[in-house]
């Protein structure tokens, strides 16, 4: 299992107690599901990468925490909403009690298997290509 980037617990410490509880639970589930993924603070938020490709992350919004799966629209899963113009999907939490662990774990399993190549999107001039895993 890869170590969690030291900056992620520091990010959690900047959150309110309620938001910190959400972040702590998400971090625990993500690191358990993706023990070989690398983590870091990327664009100000905790993000996990597989082979340099962003897969899952979360960040503070005005009214809670957004969990984002970069390839989540391809999961074909209830509970995830499309986000942005590419393949990302999200779910938002205002309390740790709202996190349903069973679907979260299923989404995390799919996140490892279903990936679009965001790492090379600039090289491909905005075109996303599915990664075969």
d(CA 51, CA 34): 12
Burial class (CB in 10 A: 0-12, 13-18, 19+), 84: exposed
> 64 — alpha (psi -120 to 50), left (phi > 0) or beta?
left
pLDDT tens per residue, range 93-115: 999 999 999 999 999 999 999 88
Cα distances from 100 to residues 4, 20, 24, 56, 121, in angstroms, run 23, 17, 14, 17, 32
pLDDT for 33 = 97
Strand order in the sheet with 89-93: 38-42, 45-50, 53-61, 64-69, 89-93, 81-82
Full-model pTM: 0.89
Residue that is written with structure tokens 């979360």 in the block: 58
The third-level CATH classification (topology) of the domain covering 7-131 is: 3.90.1150
d(CA 62, CA 50): 29
pLDDT confidence tier of residue 85, bands split at 50, 70 and 90: confident
Q: Could you tell me whether strands 130-131 and 115-116 are parallel, antiparallel, or unpaired per DSSP bridges?
A: antiparallel
Residue 75 has pLDDT above 90, yes or no: yes
pLDDT confidence tier of residue 119, bands split at 50, 70 and 90: confident
pLDDT tens per residue, range 5-63: 789 999 999 999 999 999 999 999 999 999 999 999 999 999 999 989 999 999 999 99
Q: Are 27 and 2 in contact (CB under 8 A)?
A: no
Q: Which of the 8 DSSP states describes residue 76?
A: -
């Amino acid at each position: 299992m890869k170590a969690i980037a030291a900056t992620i617990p520091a990010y959690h410490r900047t959150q309110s107690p309620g938001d910190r509880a959400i972040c702590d639970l998400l971090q625990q589930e993500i690191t358990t599901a993706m023990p070989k993924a690398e983590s870091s603070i990327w664009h100000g938020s905790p993000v996990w990468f597989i082979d340099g490709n962003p897969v899952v992350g979360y960040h503070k919004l005005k009214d809670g925490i957004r969990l984002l799966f970069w390839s989540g629209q391809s999961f074909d899963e209830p509970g995830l909403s499309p986000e942005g113009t590419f393949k990302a999907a999200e779910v938002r939490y205002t309390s740790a009690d709202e996190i349903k662990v069973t679907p979260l774990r299923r989404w995390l399993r799919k996140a490892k298997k279903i990936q679009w190549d965001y790492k090379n999107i600039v090289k491909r001039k905005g075109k996303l290509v599915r990664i075969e895993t």
